[in-house]
Amino acid sequence: MGSNGTATPQGMDGDPDLNFLLNGAELVKVRSGSWRKVRFYKLQEDCKTVWHESKKTLRPKHTFSIEDVECVRSGRHTEGLRKYTDEALESRAFSILFKGRHKNLDLIATTEEEAKHWVSGLDKIISNMSKLSQQQRTEHWIFNCLRKADINCDKKMSPEEVKRFLQDINIEVDNEYVKLLFEKCDQSKSGLLEGKEIKHFYEILTDREEIGVIYGTYAKTEGLMSAANLLNFLTKEQREKVDLTHATQLIEKYEVDETAKAKQLMTKDGFLMFLHQPEVLIMSPAHKSVYQDMSQPLNHYFISSSHNTYLLKDQLKGPSSTEGYIRALMKGCRCVELDVWDGSDGEPIIYHGYTLTSKILFKDAIQEIKEYAFKTSEYPVILSLENHCSVDQQILMAKHMHSILGSALITKPLGEHMPTALPSPEELKGRFLIKGKCLNKLEDYFSDQAATKEDESVTEEEDARDDDDEDHSENNKKSKTLKLAKELSDLAIYCKSVKFQGFGHARTHQSFYEMSSFKEWDALNFAEKSANEFIRHNVDKLSRIYPSGAVRTNSSNFNPVPMWNSGCQIVALNFQTPCAEMDLNQGLFSQNGQSGYILKPTYLREKESEFDPITLIRGPWLKHIEFHVMVISAQQLPKMSEKSLSIVDPLVRVEIHGVPADTSKRETQHIQNNGFNPMWNENFQFDLYVPELALVRFVVEDYDSVSSNDFIGQCTVPFTSLQTGYRHVPLYNQNGDLLSSAQLFVHLMAVDAE
């Protein structure tokens, strides 16, 4: 805490940016060409909330929490600011972008100096918050709720305020229990809790009974845990191969009680602190950074891919936005789609053809892609072009890509000689590949008499377009011949789009640099009826699968798992739609440093592979494992409804997604009225036959006997990236953002079946 009662973030005492934010300043809020209002913004004393005045009488207090901020961008880097402000304001403009579906805040400061204070101050606070340990977050969350419940702000809690506080933290407690708890803590018998009494109340409340039991089993040294006791826990429960030195270091690092630490002992608080460390959570720390071989041909990887990336909502009338590209790229997506049409003023535009979705300029999209492509991952980005333009505008498209992407754009093959396979993600770091129609063969680059086939044209019917033109049959009748500009054709080096004409034809006619796109139904049909043929096809060629336009006008998604099981690399999903399918995508790509590339298992990379996910004949992929999951407890599940009286009745579902034989789900009972610290202690056993392809998804829902359950949070982890033993599971909301203090606590065990 700062001296004036301010909760100053660590290491920011006296920081000029922080002081500026705490004093506040006027900013111009920009919503459109005509809507610009001066508003006073100020950071609250908790250093977690920003307040701004609103002229509406009904809403005098307007605040947002810094926890909800995705990032702060300086300059005119949102569509709104680019559209509605002039370049002269570049140095004074900045935007605050929120997680989930909140609108951006586009702002202009009075001076360049003030804009810098805002951006750098908010950045520092955000980075500070992300470094808080789970323990600190819990405390912060509880203290915030305590402060909110202290209605008369006297720093004391009456029984009514305590009751309200318990509802705020999502726990319904019997009046008798509150009374008992209150009396136990009210040592001064004043009928109010203050200072130490509130702290005592908090400690009783946050006591983790289940942690106490585990701790008690191993704490065999004067009731505390010695390094040897801790080592015993690590090897026996967590199945870790570590030594005594490691255990000693853990006590040194995480023990909170100095006296115990001096004796190299760990208290229960220290043990809990240790169990909350990022490297002790469910996901193996070794898999959080790039741990796979990145030097194999591109087609040996699953590639995180987005469909109609420019859409923010549905496929018919929703907004198109360059924001769609930024969001997908920041999530590690490595293949984005651009649907390009002739713009009325000679500039190519992007939108969903034949629909009412809004339009954006092609060059703006390319500019944003260049800006954000390599912030999350340094591996190559594929630009999947759906070209509907006239030759003139195609030439302009090629020109924009050359001038904006510069040397990062692949414009010719990498080596001196004709390759026999695609280059690797490693060789293509920081580069852009164009996927589209192409008039030449790759071989032509290496022969003297390069074929010029400028007169070749492609009509819409014979064109194996990846978009859903076939769903707009009306327009197909007016089939116009589309000529392909040589300038654009020349950019499709390694990802030349060709029509799929059957596996036999592909074996004899299709080169490794020629790729086909499949509508989800066709792909699912192959995945179910001829999976092994599909796998062999994908051993040396790329396949892109995309959602059906006819059925998915609401931008829903298909299940990507059968496609991955068949070795398909580019399984394109609507990134803008929060859903279980996107959770699976985020789960698969959460490993390998969020690089957007995951090396396929060996049997999906071998020319003569016998693997078939449906029939599961014997082979090296069969590793029968008994997977035991004990769902123990959860902590601080958020409320699902703003109504202060509604309290969640949580249940947990454990789902396995993988080959059909492994796919299954089990569910706990629901617990009445407790989102604060529900306990289940329920055991499930799953049989896994191809663990390498399995994803484990934990879903927490609010049980409803009348309607369908409400989603609270989820976490999806590849089975091969799980750590066994006692693990906390972080939870993510529907948009894939981390819920700051909610978590599950589980015990996992995997044993080879006899």
State the burial class of residue 750 (Cβ atoms within 10 Å of its Cβ: 0-12, 13-18, 19+).
Answer: middle
Active site residue 352: yes
Q: Point out the catalytic residue in the list 77, 300, 307, 728.
A: 307
The mean-pLDDT minimum among 161-175, 193-207, 470-484 falls in 470-484
Longest dimension (CA), the chain: 98
Q: Give the model confidence (pLDDT) of 482-531 as tens digits.
A: 689 999 999 999 999 999 999 999 999 999 999 999 999 999 999 999 99
Output the average pLDDT for the chain.
Answer: 89
Question: 317 near 356, Cβ under 8 Å?
Answer: yes
* For residue 738, pLDDT beyond 80: yes
Q: Do the domains spanning 298-604 and 625-752 agree at the CATH topology level?
A: no
Q: What average pLDDT score do residues 584-604 get?
A: 97
* For residue 316, pLDDT beyond 90: no
* For residue 6, pLDDT beyond 70: no
CA distances from 571 to 310, 328, 637, 654 (A): 17, 14, 32, 24
CATH class as words, domain 298-604: alpha beta
- Domain boundaries, given as residue ranges, for the chain: 16-131, 135-205, 209-275, 298-604, 625-752
State the burial class of residue 702 (Cβ atoms within 10 Å of its Cβ: 0-12, 13-18, 19+).
Answer: buried
The residue that leads in pLDDT, 455 or 460, is: 455
Give the per-residue pLDDT at 64: 87
Q: What average pLDDT score do residues 363-376 get?
A: 96
- The whole-angstrom separation of Cα 105 and Cα 96 is 5
Q: What average pLDDT score do residues 364-377 get?
A: 96
Give the per-residue pLDDT at 48: 85
Per the annotation, binding residues are: 29-56, 308, 337, 339, 386, 435, 437, 517, 544, 647, 649, 673, 702-704
Q: What average pLDDT score do residues 241-263 get?
A: 94
* For residue 569, pLDDT beyond 60: yes
Question: 622 near 612, Cβ under 8 Å?
Answer: no
Give the per-residue pLDDT at 642: 64
3-state secondary structure string, 190-243? CCCEECHHHHHHHHHHCCCHHHHHHHHHHCCECCEEEHHHHHHHHHHCCCCCCC
| Residue tagged 């704490």 (tokens) | 219
The CATH fold of domain 209-275? Recoverin; domain 1 (1.10.238)
In the structure encoding, which two tokens stand for residue 352, read together?
Answer: 């969903």
- The whole-angstrom separation of Cα 624 and Cα 690 is 7
Crossing angle of the two packed helices 362-372 and 322-330, in degrees rounded to 10: 20
What lies within 8 Å, CB to CB, of 723 at 6+ separation is 238, 280, 281, 282, 283, 284, 748
Confidence of residue 4 (pLDDT cuts 50, 70, 90): very low
CATH of 135-205, picked from 3.30.1180.10, 3.40.50.2300, 1.10.238.10, 2.20.25.240, is: 1.10.238.10
Per the annotation, binding residues for Ca(2+) are: 308, 337, 339, 386, 647, 649, 673, 702-704
- The whole-angstrom separation of Cα 647 and Cα 669 is 16
Grouping H, G, I as helix, E, B as strand and the rest as coil, residue 254 is helix
CATH architecture of 16-131: Roll (2.30)
The mean-pLDDT minimum among 78-82, 203-207, 616-620 falls in 203-207
Q: Which residues pair with 193 in a beta bridge?
A: 157
Please state the pTM of the whole predicted model.
0.85
Question: 115 near 92, Cβ under 8 Å?
Answer: yes
Superfamily of domain 625-752: C2 domain (2.60.40.150)
Q: Write the DSSP string, 653-698.
A: EEEEESSTTT-EEEEPPP-TTBSSS-EEEEEEEEEES-GGG-EEEE
Question: 141 near 129, Cβ under 8 Å?
Answer: no
DSSP 8-state secondary structure symbol assigned to residue 423: P
Nearest residue to 216 (alpha-carbon basis) of 271, 254, 259: 271
In the structure encoding, which two tokens stand for residue 533, read together?
Answer: 């043929």
Give the per-residue pLDDT at 160: 82
Q: Give the model confidence (pLDDT) of 78-136 as tens digits.
A: 889 998 999 999 999 999 998 876 788 999 999 999 999 999 999 999 988 877 766 67
Q: Point out the catalytic residue in the list 77, 117, 352, 400.
A: 352
Give the per-residue pLDDT at 199: 79
Give the per-residue pLDDT at 329: 96
Question: 21 near 11, Cβ under 8 Å?
Answer: no
Per the annotation, binding residues for substrate are: 29-56, 435, 437, 517, 544
Confidence of residue 681 (pLDDT cuts 50, 70, 90): very high
Q: Which residues pair with 625 in a beta bridge?
A: 688, 752
- The whole-angstrom separation of Cα 428 and Cα 379 is 7
Strands 481-483 and 156-157: unpaired
